Structure 1
């Protein structure tokens, strides 16, 4: 029965998205609802940014249907927070709103999850020698985690298939662990997101006339759901209640969302060092750098998803050999940072070599 519900969540989420995309596209074309094209955007044609509407419908409906019969008290607060993210994202996609107003709604949605949904970090599992934390610290840290992940997925959504591909990876890994560890409600929720994103991925990556983007509507909703999975994953691993207990769960969960988090940290740091606002858009994201080396959205997305998969496997291996959680957290973080700068280093070397060759050509001996 549980396996049937897992499959139902995936298939239903996928089917709802696939069925809902064509009418969404028709409305977008009739109302001229397209993503703007400017010098900062990679795409050169008008594409509807309403994929998040389909993802929202697929996830919410498949989760509600597939968890029917299970006690899932926090689900109503999770969905309420998702609805807040959905509407603020949709408004931003249609009208464009200030970063401040969007951030205020994010804080409100996160606070709703933490206070009423009882979604809160209560322990750091020994990272830097810290275990249990008090209630206020837990609220602040939980708020930070939610906002960081939400905005990381919002910022990583720059090329076809990247944000959805990374979220598919994260939701599937979390869903698999929730299932084998016996947390069926959250396994269903995770796999409902996997199925919904898989349906969107097809249109986003392989669509021609039926192509669409997820927009802020999608990235904000996805980030919120993944943040819920991260916090529950860590809380469920506080005590060894099953054979699938993961002692170093903070490091493992960090590895699962490492690519969007490190990319966000990297670009914000570069902006601040250049005296710019951390919210100022630019082309310093790792996927933009990789596109200069590998001119294919799909291949760049596969490279970053594969890198994320490798870091997850490495974190799980460290956990298996009982590697110190602080050292593991640090090792995964450093490896991710080093990788994020590799494309820029290659480009800098290539540009220097090209400049040298040009100089030699203009000044032959």
Structure 2
């Protein structure tokens, strides 16, 4: 765990420190497009935040390669090299789009090329365990199609939610945290070494998001752009693909003591290894599907941008920018960590009840868009200004008493002049 935390904090620190210089570079390079009709921000904001994220990724991998246990992964597996090559292609494509703009079909082709390069280097879905049946081994063609499709869907799902300050980075960070717990449990809980690359990729992803978020929270000083959002989606997909089909169910059931009930419960996340990565981005995926249906039904291209995403609808209901982002965080964390809780606990009923209770809380918050919580006065000095109670207005009389005689005379003349102007307008009206 210490090595993973070291990689995480290194990635976060490098990303954070690089984001400031990258912002200045983006402004100098002219990567500050004008505000569009579908945008929520009001002032031009520089992009290219993905440059800082890619720097943090490279720094984290460099540190990991020098560590005792993680260093073995670079020799024993080709997953790290495949991730770096695919992320590099996706990052270059995103930088070009942030600066000059890239056609949607060209961008889709670039995403497929990046996914194909990783598949060619071995990051592919090998087999899929099916409950009550057996492990279905996929042919190379089938594995390639499923892997490329998963990468493209993940990339575009993350890109679709990059519409509010801090939304995409926070959502991906929550997804990466949940997947980190899931894969770390398989690696150290059951001794499945094939889960180690997924643990490393999740730690890198968390560090990239945490390092970028302080610069991207509302009001954002820089956007990650497609160079960041597409790279985050690719890394989330690689984390899922690198573990899919490589977990032997017999290694898990051997530790259940032969109990069929316990074995079935433990194998829930193993039988459907793609369930968790898909559930942690359930909201972006739902937004993506709704956008495709909505635009196709209207006779438009599925890639045509609009202002009807889920986060846009939250703003229309009456939620503030920060509240809309926090609501999306809440639902993403509820789905992601709820899935992890079901896979690691035997008290499924308690998990379901807790999940239902939190859903009720979320619905109540959604129905109260104008409710503004205020922190107690004892801690108001430690919270942002928007959570502080407004100070009572001072009475006018003491303020007038503090004025000098000259100021009072000047105010009197202004009042007399205003009264005279009003009288003249009234006479003209008559």
* TM-score clears 0.5: yes
C-alpha deviation, 1:139, in angstroms: 1.8
Distance 1:152 1:346 in 2: 28
2:61 maps to 63
Cα displacement (A) at 1:265:
0.7
Point out where structure 2 has 5 or more consecutive residues left out of the alignment. Answer: 188-194, 256-265, 349-354, 370-430
Q: Deviations over 1:190-238 (max 9, x none)?
A: 1122112111111000566xx1000000011001000001222433445
Q: CA deviation at 1:307?
A: 0.7
2:320 counterpart residue number: 296
Asked if the contact 2:155–2:229 (Cα under 8 Å) also holds between the matched residues in 1, the reply is: yes
Work out whether residues 115 and 148 of structure 2, in 8 Å CA contact, stay in contact via their aligned partners in 1: yes
Matches within 5 A, 1:98-177: 98-123=103-128, 125-126=130-131, 131-135=135-139, 136-177=141-182
**CA RMSD in angstroms, aligned pairs only:** 2.9
8 A Cα contact 1:146 1:227, kept in partner = yes
Please tell me whether residue 187 in structure 1 is matched to residue 199 in structure 2: yes
Distance 1:195 1:134, change over 3 A: closer
In structure 2, relative to structure 1, the CA distance for the partners of 1:289 and 1:197 (3 Å cut) is same
List alignment gaps of at least 5 residues for structure 1: 324-331, 348-365
1:346 and 1:179, CA in 2 relative to 1: closer, same or farther beyond 3 A? closer
> Which residue of structure 1 lines up, in the alignment, with residue 212 of structure 2?
200
Residues of 1 paired with 2:104 and 2:335: CA distance?
A: 31
Number of aligned positions between the proteins? 328
Q: Choose which of 256, 267, 270 in structure 1 pairs with 2:280.
A: 256
Q: Give 1:322 shift.
A: 11
Question: Structure 1 residues 321, 261: closer, same or farther in 2, change over 3 A?
Answer: farther
TM-score, with length taken from structure 2: 0.70
Q: What is aligned with 1:310?
A: 334
Q: Name the SS for the 1:235 alignment partner.
A: coil
Q: 2:45 aligns with which of 44, 47, 58?
A: 47
- Deviation at 1:290? 0.7
SS in 1 for 2:165: coil
Q: Which moved more, 1:240-249 or 1:273-282?
A: 240-249
Q: Is the 8 A contact 2:165 2:217 kept in 1?
A: yes
Partner-residue secondary structure (3-state), 2:217: helix
Q: Superposition pairs for residues 204-215 of structure 1, below 5 Å?
A: 204-206=216-218, 211-215=221-225
Question: What is the CA–CA distance in structure 2 between the aligned matches of 1:241 and 1:196, rounded to whole Å?
Answer: 33
Q: CA deviation at 1:321?
A: 6.2
Matched, 1:282 2:294: no
